Chain A
Amino acid sequence: MLLLTCPCCGVDADETELAPGGEAHVTRFGAGASDDDFEGYLFHRKNPKGVHFERWRHAMGCGKWFHAARATDTLEVFGTYSAQVLAPPKDLIEKIKLKRPDWEGF
């Protein structure tokens, strides 16, 4: 059972307190988007073995959404950060690169 630190309230939250929200940093395409853009937004998601950026909601806690950087193979958690950003923080990316030199990057 995963344990993630909610960056909003600071609690180490059990997976049972959390609701998963899938891949993070997906760009929304709405009315007027091309078929390809919209298809990508609606259906296409990354499924890497390794570093993954995800959305989680502290549903049974403070109710806030946040982002987590996590390894899907070892379940290592590199860090959690605000949901109100378009890309992971630079220092987190540096930290992941140090731990996973062969990671392709964000």
Chain B
Amino acid sequence: MSTRLKNGGRMIDRTKPVDFMWNGRKLSGFKGDTLASALLANDQMLVGRSFKYHRPRGIMAAGPEEPNALVNLGSGDRFEPNQRTTTTELFQGLTAKSQNHWPSLEFDVGAVNKHLSRVFPAGFYYKTFMFPRFAWKHVFEPIVRQAAGLGNVPTDRDADRYEYFYHHVDILVIGGGIAGLAATLAAGRSGATVMLLEQTADFGGRAVVDGGEIDGKPVQEWVGDTVAALKELPNVTLRPRTMGAGVYDHGYATGYERVNDHVPGDGRPRHRLWRIRTKRIVTATGAIERPISFAGNDIPGVMLAGSVRDFMVNHGVSLGDRVVIATNNDDAYRTAIAVKTAGLQVPLVVDARETVTGELPEQARAMGIQIATGTAISSVKGGKRVTAVAITPQNGTGHVTDEIACDIVAMSGGWSPVVHLWSHCGGKLNWDAEQAMFRPDGLRPPFGADGQGFVLVAGTANGYLDMAKVLHDAVAAGKRAAEEAGFQPSDEAVPLVDTKAESPILPVWTMPQVQSAKLQMKTWLDFQNDVKVSDVRLAAREGYESVEHTKRYTTLGMATDQGKLSNINGLAILADSLNAEIPQVGTTTFRPPYHPISFGAIAGEARGDIFKVLRRSPIHDWIDQNGGFWEPVGDWRRPYCFQKPGESVKDAVHREINQTRNSVGLLDASTLGKIIVKGPDAGRFLDMLYTNMMSTLKVGRCRYGLMCTENGFLSDDGVVARLSEDTFVCHTTSGGSDRIHAWMEEWLQTEWWDWEVYTANVTEQFAQIAIVGPKARQVIEKMGLDGLDVSAEALPFMAFAEGKIADIPARAFRISFSGELSYEIAVPAARGQAFWEAALAAGAEFGISPYGTEALHVMRAEKGFIMIGDETDGTVIPQDLGLSWAISKKKDDFLGKRAQQRSHMTDPNRWRLVGLETVDPQVVLPDGAYAVDGTTRANGIKNMIGRVTSTYWSPTLKRSIAMGLVEHGPERMGDIIVFPTVTGEEIKTKIVDPVFYDKEGARQNV
């Protein structure tokens, strides 16, 4: 069993017990524990079930590489699934529950899956996607959905807040082990500003656990002194509990700070995302121990050798009474010595190497530890806990020579440098065959804006496992980073270390070297995704030779740990299966973040009301207080309609239309884009921008215009008014003002930069209010006019005039998007509310009513006016919409002209705009419905000949109306075409003129 040792545990404070809940039971640990160490101190080795086969799984590692021990953490609005016990600091009142089992952790029905492993091989999902076709939907998917999934989904809104920090620094050091500390000191003493990130709460890393002396002091003391020295430097920032999450182009990096996960709800933000710009990055990220692939290596109690001593040294936790060590290198002997020193038993060290003569093994021998050389574990015995190991010669095929009782197997397959951050931006790796590891190739770094490498690697992350070499490399990296950042490097000396000579590692990818098929089926590579040696070999046999393909086919390395433990093992086995060398197979791509970070940290403060900036028209608050039924339009909100108490949305829309058509209505059109175009060449410029001729527009007049892209497609429309000889105001769609202003600037800055034209986007400077309907003129006259005349004679259709209305400076445009007599009146934004209220007061006797966007839409559709985004979708040209009248034939050129001459654009078979009248006037066509002609295309689908672009119930005409694009439509007036619906009915529809109401335009021209 695992338990707390009487002594030891450098991180824990035995005077401060901490209570926590595990699966509803109250347990106790100490301040300084992780959840993992506290669980182990309470003999909770079994902590979860595996993803696919529901195998019992225990804690395997002591750090972020842990694949198994993921739990549902917290409750209510602080509940979060898939939290790693090994990186969760214990706090009073912590609650955690194990995942992926039913009904209980100890007894799990889903464990039956493990007997089905033959039917869940590599590529299971892909194979079942393929055939038989019905089987996926009706047989496999329901089963898989039931069984799959790790933690539970949170249901409550997150109680915490999150934030970004932006930081600029000369040098960023990632990793606060001895290499990171030494590099930071060397760089910091050169005068550069340096930031050091450490993912855990403490500095020092593995070296503190492994012991030894630096500069004649115990490692822990040296670490303490160095941290103190760094805190003395004003140019150095130390950031514990902050993980270097990602390295990006040109010296950008992200740090993920877990500010108060260990003291939840203390009022501070929970996580902080550091967005760091730096000249040089030093990654001192250490290494992660590899498991060894032997049968039963996933049974609870099989752990990484380094982690076994981490728990003993850091937390005073004994994992078991009898610890068998399985290794191919000298480092694991540190664990053997630590276990033996703690008074526990090491029945055997199983070492795959034939000769074992390093200083550490000799020390172990001297302590009476038995070492079996040239030996392997054939299989591990046990179910929910290790009970014994079967021993076999490493060079054999698994013939069992001995069985040894034990409750822990501490395995070490060697160490893999953490190269992720080096690789995020394209740093290349070399295979070091002697040390059996991929390590950074300093000659092929990620490059910065200056063409120089901007990431340096230091210490173990650079492939140095010996402490003396680590410190030498780290000090050199710190100095080099300072020099490259433009500082005179310090003369910081390399600390002196006396290290033990280690014998070379023997690459061991499976134990024994040749595994029977039966053993391969029980030998895990990816513990979280349940990928076994047999799966990788099957993938290779089925032709998956690329490591990227094998990864996706088997799901090796695709779990939340991203293959930190076993990717090298997996690709070594793939290489072996393909008879290739490991560097030929290569690694999969390393992508940020290094380790999962919270969505909260990514979102930062951008949630709720400040998720996205909301633009408000000057009338926004009035609309909000007077029944406005909001809908998003671009960055704005506009009222869909104004609901009266007890009124349905539909009834409100119909009421607004009837009121406007019969008397007078009021529309807030302030969101329409307004761009001033000014200068001697303004007319010439607009002639290029619009399909129409704008340079001939008379001062005081308006013209409706179309804008196209160079592809010829319709991009925006609106009314242009000429304010003076050299000044125009261009109205754009509500969503288009920023885009069209940018479009104008692009042409002026990059193509016609010698033209004298200036633009200004004044959309927000003006409120624009439309007074619409037969009584519109009377309302305006009643508001009080000063300096302008709005009579039909003085201000005809498509003209504008300036003056004062209701004592407010105003520009009144006689333009209409409804077909009614209409004035769109621009007033200074700050006077918009006052103008709105004056119009309401003056119109009261006519029953004036504000109307929303839906009434606007219906009224424009009744008149056959197109709407950008309804009738257009980025593939429609003006000619499709019957707008050839708005395309100038006199102009030599305009944007889109040449494209509209391309063969596809002049094809008579293009779908073109028509009106659509359902034969049954009560039936409204579904938006987007397609018309069919009864024939079938070569691929078996019905042949489509058109689609609905706008469709409404018209309260004016008391029938359904629609517009659509139909093949040969304008030539087929009166024909009946058929629109099938999703429910299987067919709607018979007559092709008609798109102008349904007041074809002569008599109503707007009064």
Contact = CB atoms under 8 A, between A and B. Distances in A.
Contact of A31 (B252, B448, B449, B892): B892
A4 B449 CA distance: 8
Contact of A3 (B252, B898, B899): B252
A52 interface: no
Contact of B249 (A38, A57, A63, A75): A75
Interface string B415-433: 0000000000000000000
A41 B898 CA distance: 11
Contact of B447 (A3, A35, A55, A74): A74
Contact of A29 (B277, B898, B901, B902): B898
Contact of B449 (A29, A41, A76): A76
Contact of B750 (A3, A38, A59, A83): A83
Contacts of B248: 1
A87 interface: no
Interface in A47-68: 55, 57, 59, 63-65
Given A1-B250, A33-B898, A63-B745, A83 B451 contact: no
A1 B750 contact: no
Interface in A14-57: 14-15, 21, 28-33, 35, 38, 41-42, 55, 57
Interface residues of B, number: 29
A1 B249 contact: yes
A75 B252 CA distance: 13
B742 interface: yes
A31 B897 contact: yes
B447 A28 contact: no
Contacts of B893: 30-32
Contacts of B894: 31
B87 interface: no
Given A28-B751, A30-B893, A77 B898 contact: no
Nearest to A59: B742
A59 B250 CA distance: 20
Contacts of B450: 76-77
A3 B451 contact: no
Instruction: Indicate the member of A41, A59, A77 with the most B CB atoms within 10 Å.
Output: A77
A75 B897 contact: no
Contacts of B902: 35, 38
B948 to A, nearest CB: 31
B746 A57 contact: yes
Interface in B76-129: none
Contacts of B746: 21, 57, 65
A59 B895 CA distance: 23
Nearest to B751: A28
A75 B251 CA distance: 11
B898 A64 contact: no
A55 B251 contact: no
Given A32-B898, A75-B449, A3 B251 contact: yes
A65 B898 contact: no
B688 to A, nearest CB: 9
B260 interface: no
Interface in B210-254: 248-252
B310 to A, nearest CB: 36
B647 interface: no
Contacts of B447: 74-76
15 contacts: A1-B250, A3-B249, A3-B449, A4-B449, A14-B277, A31-B894, A31-B901, A32-B893, A42-B710, A57-B742, A65-B746, A74-B447, A76-B451, A77-B449, A84-B750
Given A3-B250, A29-B898, A38-B902, 8 more contacts: A1-B250, A3-B251, A14-B252, A30-B895, A31-B892, A41-B710, A55-B750, A75-B449
The 8 closest A-B pairs by CB, nearest first: A76-B451, A74-B447, A31-B893, A1-B252, A3-B250, A84-B753, A30-B893, A65-B749
